[in-house]
Amino acid sequence: MIIYIAGPITGVIDYKRKFEAAEKMLINMGHIVINPAYLPSGLKDYMPICKAMIDQADAIYFLTGWQQSKGAKEEYEYAQKKKKSMYFEEDFIKENHDIPLKNTPDFFKKYLSYKNSTKPLII
């Protein structure tokens, strides 16, 4: 499955780390990941680019806090309009995993500990 990661970026100091952790987890699960955190800083308008990336995705994975992000809320509305499957980090953590796993759930445990750590994630 091709999965786009959505979440708060503006005003979040360590947003790249959070997006990277989700990306590594999803890749380890066997998915192709589209990560907008790799876009360069300083562009006038990111949303047309993000919408084009969403168009290429089968599903969207929303990071915790997406509801407080103007951009992520717009991505949510767009994904709904396009009838994309949507997964939410909050639910994923509560339910352990609701995106089909190809590898062992041990990686998920690493992901959860990595999100709040300062150490690099080793797959």
DSSP string spanning 63-119? PTTGGG-HHHHHHHHHHHHTT-EEEEHHHHHHHS--SPPSS-THHHHHHHHHHT-SS
Predicted structure pTM score:
0.78
Q: Indicate whether 122 belongs to any domain.
A: no
**Helix-, strand-, coil-residue percentages of the chain, each rounded to 5:** 50, 15, 40
Q: Between residues 120 and 58, which one has the greater pLDDT?
A: 58
Residue 4 and residue 57 in contact, taking contact as beta carbons nearer than 8 Å: yes
Q: Residue 71 maps to which CATH number?
A: 3.40.50.10400
Q: Which two tokens stand for residue 37?
A: 């955190």
Q: Indicate whether 37 belongs to any domain.
A: yes
Q: Cα–Cα distance between 29 and 39 in angstroms, integer? A: 23
| Per-residue pLDDT reduced to its tens digit, 23-37 | 998 998 889 999 999
* The total number of structural domains that make up the chain: 1
**What is the extent of the structural domain holding 55?**
2-115
pLDDT more than 90, % of the chain:
57
